[in-house]
């Protein structure tokens, strides 16, 4: 649909998103923003790894299980099982759920999400498909929790490699990154969100883009 109107002004939510339709007339890039007050900063790292998202191949819940099993660190999985993907859950996730080393807690609301993120050692974001943005990464970092993610789509833009998490290419690299989490300062994770991914920053970005367009047409 966008390709029918390539001359209109477009705002991307990450530079990676533009690769899907590079011929469009992009006038700005404005990252998604979150309500920072919904996410409490937790200074001390937790003792478990966390996956939050749709339980599907693209989001890599099964890869998070693999990392947890290889590191021996408990994993909590939260998210919905989309219709039609029950077999993926039953074959790739459920066999490992023992509610001790691998826990599945289902879909969670804002309060529990905040608690799960803040008390996690790291968020695993081992996606198989490019992310246009990936709010869950910003949400975790807002709590001070670093992200270990595959370098697809916007992940390298959201996660500052070596400072707020690690951008990796394989499961084995993700396992190795878990051993390096002690290098990450949780306050750096929070600060990155404060500087780049808040609701106020997002609104200001759109207002500035609109203002430039209006002035140009005058």
Are 75 and 65 contacting, i.e. CB atoms less than 8 angstroms apart? yes
Mean pLDDT of 71-93: 97
pLDDT one-digit tens code per residue, 165-186: 999 999 999 999 999 999 999 9
Can you say how many angstroms the Cα of residue 132 is from the centroid of all Cα atoms in its chain?
10
pLDDT one-digit tens code per residue, 103-130: 999 999 999 999 999 999 999 999 999 9
Structure tokens at 61: 């819940």
pLDDT one-digit tens code per residue, 13-34: 999 999 999 999 999 999 999 9
User: Higher model confidence: residue 192 or residue 99?
Assistant: 192
Sheet of strand 122-125, all strands in order from the earlier edge strand to the far edge:
102-106, 75-78, 49-52, 122-125, 147-150, 165-168
Looking at residue 218, its pLDDT comes to 85
Orientation of helix 135-142 relative to helix 110-118, angle to 10°: 60
User: Measuring CA to CA, which residue among 126, 120, 121 is closest to residue 181?
Assistant: 121
């Amino acid at each position: 649909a966008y390709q029918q109107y390539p001359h209109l002004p477009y705002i991307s939510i990450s530079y990676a998103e533009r690769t899907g339709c590079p011929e469009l007339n992009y006038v700005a890039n404005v990252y998604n923003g979150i309500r920072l007050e919904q996410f409490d900063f937790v200074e001390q790292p937790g003792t478990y790894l966390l996956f939050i998202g749709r339980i599907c191949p693209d989001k890599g819940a099964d890869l998070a299980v693999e990392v947890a099993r290889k590191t021996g660190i408990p994993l909590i999985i939260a998210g919905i099982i989309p219709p039609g993907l029950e077999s993926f859950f039953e074959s790739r996730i459920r066999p490992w759920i023992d509610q001790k080393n691998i826990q599945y807690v289902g879909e969670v609301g804002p309060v529990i999400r905040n608690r799960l993120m803040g008390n996690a050692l790291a968020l695993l974001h081992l996606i198989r498909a490019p992310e246009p943005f990936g709010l869950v990464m910003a949400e975790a970092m807002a709590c001070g929790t670093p992200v270990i993610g595959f370098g697809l789509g916007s992940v390298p833009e959201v996660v500052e490699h070596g400072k707020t998490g690690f951008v990796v290419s394989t499961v084995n690299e993700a396992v190795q990154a878990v051993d390096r989490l002690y290098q990450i300062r949780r306050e750096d994770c929070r600060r990155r969100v404060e500087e780049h991914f808040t609701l106020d920053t997002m609104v200001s970005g759109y207002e500035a883009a609109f203002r430039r367009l209006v002035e140009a047409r005058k």
